[in-house]
Structure 1
């Protein structure tokens, strides 16, 4: 009785595991894979398949339990294939999902999957015992495919269509879909096919991402992976028996055959990668990661043993143990030897990629060239504050602004990340994806397009959607900044998303912002939106305060203020903060580095004042304070309403303040010490001022 219960729960776990994999896979992506991935994927499949098939046919007597040569074809196919979930899980564990290496590995795994899906119907027909059964199996599979695509698929899309935009799918639709997985599994089982085949077919017809796929993954993945799948693993463990090894010669020969197959796949990937001029180290590591195996492989082996009766206990033990050994060997090697060249290293080591000399900064951007900005958007709530900030940035004919608007979406409900340019040519291709999301991408882009068309200054918009895990999303954004020499990235603060997207998403966005500040090849601005209120007359006006303490981050803030200062409707107030504590001893104790920093601070500050002599919209104050909390006093005591307060994230001068009594509410590391104090002060004392905290790449010495 216990075995029946365990087998039933394990089978259910297997069905839902395969369903969730199919839900995350975008079949159309396979067809759009580039030539490089097609070549590497095809070569890395064909070479091990040919070698393994010949070896298994020649050594059939050493594979216990195998009685039919046709089985060698199936075994060679599955061993030579790299499955998307296995590769994707390994990349996620190694934090390489959004790297170029990870994207290429995912694309190659997609090619393998397409080859496998093409061969599965052939194998299903050939493995039948009689011609009548082969014809019946083919007709059954064809009828099931027609039923799935012409009956079930329209029903799924009707559910999606019935879901209002921006709202979650109704619970009844979620329940019906999850029950439908079991129904499809039962249908395939009645037809004599695998339980999991019906689940895979059902999963493939569900549009990936929101609203349906993401909610299915969110509600069921934890239960499947943490409850049902461990029971399935336990069942596999029961089926493995070390004492079943009765022929050590056959045991060793079978292991050697599998080892040759894995090595052949490695060589196939290596040769194909080198032909596309991929770095030898990355080509070798790609060959290793393509040998990763996962639960699907073991599912196939278990089915061959229990249902097909073509594997005996010893052969099953060899296959499963080799799968575990190869994965356990490959993953640490990739983690140890994969040393990606960071964007910072690219900027310093390859000046041709960075003609301005070093990593981009607002200060180093020529005044007679276009000013490029990447603006990240999570939902419609971020649009107004970003557009207002762009208008204050003073786009003109002499210095136009080029904006890369990126809508950021979690990868939940998808297998691999995507970067989608939004334009008229590919709108139809991705329309089903964009209109099925919980955020209104069309409305967001229409708002930016309208602003671009109606702006007095010259501003161009380049819209994108990035779909990736939040923990890796900074790599896609940084690459876009690197490729286009963008000096400034603006991202919304995570607290602005908490009310609309919940604590989980807000925490993930905080991780994204922190990663961007660490790894971006330019300046990153974190925008705390306080719902800017423009004048009711429709006349644009903007009042900005800059707290200038010192350091490269504050110099970036002042450089951005210089960009705004020539806008006739933008008022700039620069508050130069000087530490009163130990001021007389600075020159005696300061290092050469600190002296150079202070000299650059004075040069930038004096240059800003000289540039704005006679500009009635610019005011500069100099104040001396003895406590870090006092930096917000001029803002509170001025009696003015500032629409935006700008400050750098890091200040080496903060060490000179008497900051032993730091406020307990200063907890936002991405805003820095001073930025967090300003943020908390606004919370405590009220006010509508927004906050922009700028951090330039690189660390202080």
Structure 2
């Protein structure tokens, strides 16, 4: 506690403190041996004394994790295996030990399942919990090593028990992975969570994920461009995502609750973001409600937490930052590979539409907290549900008096004649934009570009350089495999999560310096509408505008359709109330 008090807020722990902890670790091991205990007993009590989380717990985890996981742990398993001698095993004793091991294993599984079933847990989750609680690992190996060292058991008994641990744990872990699927809580929602299918007369439910403070200005700019108003208010959920380090369990903090003060846990990570969003909320009283949360969890399971929150909050769109960020002077800042994997997982499993925001510094310069800037937006429209989703979102932005929206539709020559003869869903939406915005509001524009192949499409995209603050594109496109616009583009795709057009605008050899938003419409669920939120309730009807199309990811799959827990729609008052 003294070390933590001596560490300035937001600063790393001194190296001298880390060295002191390591020396204390060795002294505690020596003290345990001197009093006749196992050498690991002292470090266990020292670990219990160290407070979890930052700054000290996370610093120790960062210093020790790589060394322990990559060097010491494999060496220990190698040492444990070297003590195993298969030539001293006897068939009779071997089978007796295995039968006893199986009996005790099932007894432990049943002992964990019965209380879980009594507490109304499902059978599948109860079995998964029982298997997890019955799995054995390094702790059991430590007991066996100590017993062998103290001559409590012989080499034959040691080998029999090690074999039972190996095959019982090896059988339990695949079963847990097969039975326990966290995504089943949100994947099969029976309502559409999209902007296209949402009712226009209810509040707009929007959620954004932030990894660090640098994401805050661009997200506030996108929120301002989304045009919060008294007629069409916005309920905006902000999730600050922090990687779990130095703690044993994930943590979810609701900053609306008075009991969770941000100054007590992770103070500097979230407080500045909270202040910025609260300031913007105060400037838009009656138009906007901002709800802020902090999620501290491993990156491997972080997408499950985000997807569950998006399902519970009934968000129509989830905005996440790209793992790379370009500053105004061209410097590229690349985050960890885990953030990119997190974005790809969201694209597979999100229960709503997803938008990946690639920020190149243009949005950060236009700060709505200090000025009233003018935004120029262009929508690249080809065809498909993702393009419609981006266009519907841009049409909401077009209602903002300081936003100019230009829709550029790329059409192949053979399809231009077809569009003149018949109008599909894409054509209906384009016609609505031209009538409601281009004719009535002169600052908006629409134009069509006839392109024969990918070269001409790239030339059209290059013409946007320096003209727009934000380009909005769909991630997937209908009939892509039959279109000449995408011939040969998959082989040069540097960022598959952005789609073909988004990758052209963001790849390392491009000259475009504006921000890009890549939109993917929800790929799950069936017919239905949206509703509920911070302000009001209702349901918005709409046809199923999506299409099932092969994804650019080689490992992409459509989630399983199975019976899942549905989140009910709760009608709410139409007045502006903050979340409690």
- TM-score band, normalised by the shorter chain? 0.7 to 0.9
1:648 to 2:474 alignment:
yes
2:60, 2:325 → 1: CA distance? 26
Q: How does 1:396-415 map to 2 (within 5 A)?
A: 396-415=229-248
Q: Deviations over 1:556-607 (max 9, x none)?
A: 0111012112111111111122122x437869xxxxxxx9xx7110111112
Partner of 2:498: 671
Q: Per the alignment, in what secondary structure is the counterpart of residue 471 of structure 1?
A: coil
Q: CA deviation at 1:245?
A: 5.0
1:418, 1:228 → 2: CA distance? 29
Q: Larger relative CO (CA 8 A, sep 6+): 1 or 2?
A: 2
2:85, 2:459 → 1: CA distance? 74
1:270, 1:440 → 2: CA distance? 39
1:434 to 2:266 alignment:
yes
Partner of 2:146: 303
1:574, 1:231 → 2: CA distance? 61
Q: Per the alignment, in what secondary structure is the counterpart of residue 67 of structure 2?
A: helix
CA contact (8 A) 1:209 1:413 kept: yes
Q: CA deviation at 1:243?
A: 4.8
1:696, 1:273 → 2: CA distance? 38
Q: Per the alignment, in what secondary structure is the counterpart of residue 346 of structure 1?
A: coil
Per mean C-alpha deviation after superposition, the further-off stretch among 465-474 and 533-542 is 533-542
Q: CA deviation at 1:401?
A: 0.8
**Which of 575, 582, 601 is residue 426 of structure 2 equivalent to?**
601
Cα pair distance change 1:570/1:584, threshold 3 Å: closer
Gap regions ≥5 residues in structure 2: 524-546, 550-580
Q: CA deviation at 1:282?
A: 2.8
1:372 to 2:225 alignment:
no
Q: CA deviation at 1:327?
A: 0.4
**Which of 98, 109, 130 is residue 287 of structure 1 equivalent to?**
130
RMSD: 3.2
1:624 to 2:454 alignment:
no
Q: CA deviation at 1:664?
A: 7.8
2:491, 2:161 → 1: CA distance? 57
1:457, 1:605 → 2: CA distance? 32
Q: Per the alignment, in what secondary structure is the counterpart of residue 179 of structure 1?
A: helix
2:456, 2:31 → 1: CA distance? 72
**Which of 335, 341, 347 is residue 517 of structure 1 equivalent to?**
347
Cα pair distance change 1:500/1:461, threshold 3 Å: farther
2:342, 2:331 → 1: CA distance? 17
2:416, 2:408 → 1: CA distance? 21
Q: Per the alignment, in what secondary structure is the counterpart of residue 239 of structure 2?
A: strand
Q: Kindly indicate which of the two structures has a greater share of residues assigned to helix.
A: 1
CA contact (8 A) 1:579 1:653 kept: no
Q: CA deviation at 1:516?
A: 0.7
1:232, 1:488 → 2: CA distance? 48
CA contact (8 A) 1:535 1:541 kept: no
**Which of 142, 146, 162 is residue 7 of structure 2 equivalent to?**
162
Partner of 2:377: 544
CA contact (8 A) 2:125 2:179 kept: no
TM normalised by structure 2 equals 0.81
Partner of 2:112: 269
CA contact (8 A) 1:578 1:622 kept: yes
2:260, 2:170 → 1: CA distance? 42
CA contact (8 A) 1:368 1:399 kept: yes
2:307, 2:96 → 1: CA distance? 49
CA contact (8 A) 1:394 1:457 kept: no
Q: CA deviation at 1:277?
A: 2.8
Cα pair distance change 1:322/1:660, threshold 3 Å: closer
Cα pair distance change 1:174/1:535, threshold 3 Å: closer
Q: How does 1:210-609 map to 2 (within 5 A)?
A: 210-245=54-89, 252-307=95-150, 309-338=151-180, 342=184, 345-348=187-190, 358-428=191-261, 431-435=263-267, 440-455=269-284, 458-496=287-325, 505-531=335-361, 532=363, 533-534=365-366, 538-580=371-413, 582-583=414-415, 599-609=424-434
Q: CA deviation at 1:648?
A: 0.6
CA contact (8 A) 1:267 1:287 kept: yes
Q: What number of residue pairs does the alignment pair up?
A: 519
Q: Deviations over 1:401-421 (max 9, x none)?
A: 111111111123333333222
Q: CA deviation at 1:386?
A: 0.3
Cα pair distance change 1:639/1:684, threshold 3 Å: closer
Q: Per the alignment, in what secondary structure is the counterpart of residue 361 of structure 1?
A: coil
Q: Per the alignment, in what secondary structure is the counterpart of residue 405 of structure 2?
A: strand
Cα pair distance change 1:679/1:630, threshold 3 Å: farther
Which of these two proteins has the greater Rg computed from alpha carbons? Answer: 1
TM normalised by structure 1 equals 0.68
Q: CA deviation at 1:381?
A: 0.5
1:664, 1:252 → 2: CA distance? 56
Q: CA deviation at 1:177?
A: 2.4
Cα pair distance change 1:518/1:186, threshold 3 Å: same
CA contact (8 A) 1:665 1:680 kept: no
1:548, 1:686 → 2: CA distance? 18
1:425, 1:191 → 2: CA distance? 47
**Which of 40, 44, 52 is residue 196 of structure 1 equivalent to?**
40
Cα pair distance change 1:238/1:368, threshold 3 Å: same
